[in-house]
């Protein structure tokens, strides 16, 4: 497959949120606004791409039996680097996302791609795969965040669209489940039989 196709595949056909249903915790937990969702998606994208590249490069030096712990160490190292950089340069976003940044380590998407793709493909392909899946994740989170923010607080990327409050429940916990459930049903309806 050509690199560009690998990237496209991650956005629609293998969309981590709507098709693979992976990484649900950050998807629900950080999408109280479009910006937060986008920030979380981008942080995951960076970790995913870097760990995919490194794992693809080192896979043949790692004996099979210790591959999962090795991948976990590599992934958590990248997560910590992102964490430190965000603390230093994007402190307010870091505070909003909080616990969900270190929890990228246990995001099934990252370990899943390492195991299913990166350890048996070239570095370039793995990088593209990481980029595609990461973009798909970022896009989904941004859309969910956008809808929740619009309905819940009546703002769009922080801009006030009308005066007064939104329908509060959408930025609270139940709203996360409801919006994601409805969006997923819509996605199923639109892509029925085509994926």
Q: What is the DSSP string of 149-162?
A: HHHHHSEETTEE-S
CA distance 182 to 107: 23
Least distance CB 8 / another protein (angstroms): 24
Asked if 34 interacts with another protein (CB under 8 A), we say no
CB of 43 to another protein, least distance (A): 13
* Spatial distance between the Cα atoms of 92 and 188, rounded to a whole number of angstroms: 36
- Please enumerate in sequence order all residues whose Cβ is within 8 A of that of 144, keeping only pairs 6 or more positions apart, or say none: 17, 27, 31, 37, 176, 179, 180, 183
Q: Which of 40, 127, 135, 171 binds another protein (CB under 8 A)?
A: 171
CB of 2 to another protein, least distance (A): 25
Q: Report yes or no: 49 and 117 within 8 Å, Cβ to Cβ.
A: no
How many residues line the site for another protein (CB under 8 A)?
A: 69
Cβ neighbour number for residue 144 with a 10 Å cutoff:
23
Q: Which of 7, 11, 28, 34 binds another protein (CB under 8 A)?
A: 28
Using CA atoms, how far apart are residues 94 and 89, in angstroms rounded to an integer?
Answer: 9
Please tell me whether residue 151 binds another protein under the rule CB under 8 A: no
Q: Which of residues 74-93 bind another protein (CB under 8 A)?
A: 74, 76-77, 79-81, 83-85, 87-89, 91
Binding region for another protein (CB under 8 A): 21-22, 24-26, 28-29, 32-33, 58-66, 68-70, 72-74, 76-77, 79-81, 83-85, 87-89, 91, 95, 98-99, 102-103, 105-108, 111, 152-153, 165-166, 168-169, 171-178, 180-182, 184-186, 188-189, 192
């Amino acid at each position: 497959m050509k690199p560009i196709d690998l990237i496209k595949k991650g956005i629609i056909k293998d969309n981590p949120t709507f098709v693979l249903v992976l990484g649900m915790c950050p998807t629900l937990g950080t999408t109280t606004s479009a910006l937060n969702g986008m920030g979380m998606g981008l942080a995951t994208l960076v970790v995913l791409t870097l760990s995919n590249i490194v794992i693809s490069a080192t896979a043949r030096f790692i004996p099979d039996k210790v591959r999962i712990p090795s991948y976990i160490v590599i992934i958590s190292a990248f997560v910590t680097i992102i964490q430190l950089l965000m603390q230093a340069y994007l402190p307010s976003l870091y505070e909003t996302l909080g616990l969900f940044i270190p929890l990228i380590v246990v995001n099934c998407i990252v370990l899943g791609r390492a195991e299913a793709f990166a350890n048996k493909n070239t570095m370039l392909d793995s990088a593209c795969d990481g980029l595609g899946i990461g973009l798909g994740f970022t896009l989904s989170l941004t859309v969910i965040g956008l809808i929740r923010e619009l309905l819940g607080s009546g703002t769009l990327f922080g801009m006030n669209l009308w005066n007064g409050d939104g329908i509060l429940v959408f930025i609270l916990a139940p709203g996360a489940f409801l919006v994601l459930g409805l969006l997923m049903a819509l996605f199923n309806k639109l892509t029925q039989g085509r994926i």
